[in-house]
Amino acid sequence: MSEKTFILEIFSPDKKVFSGEVNLATFPGEKGLFTVLYNHAPLISVLTKGNVRWVIADKEDNVAINGGFVEIKENKITACVEIL
């Protein structure tokens, strides 16, 4: 893992949507959007309908979701989502 990056894994019931090192990730939480950076505090959150967005070396990508949940722990994010 490079400095200031962390692992993001996004799974749906059918497949692995994304797995790799990212610089930041943004999620649609129940109380609004939140962004995760390197060394974020541990967190578990419910996700609502919206877009999960991530950035790798200034290149942005995203996936539209209908909901799910996310766990952030020790510079690793695991998201289980329902894809729209």
| Residue-wise pLDDT tens digits, 66-78 | 999 999 999 999 9
Domains of the chain, start order: 6-83 (2.60.15.10)
**pLDDT for 22-51, tens place per residue?**
999 999 999 999 999 999 999 999 999 999
For the chain, the distance separating the N- and C-terminal CA atoms, rounded to the nearest angstrom, is 30
pLDDT band, residue 1 (cuts 50/70/90)? low
Distance CA 61, CA 20 (A): 12
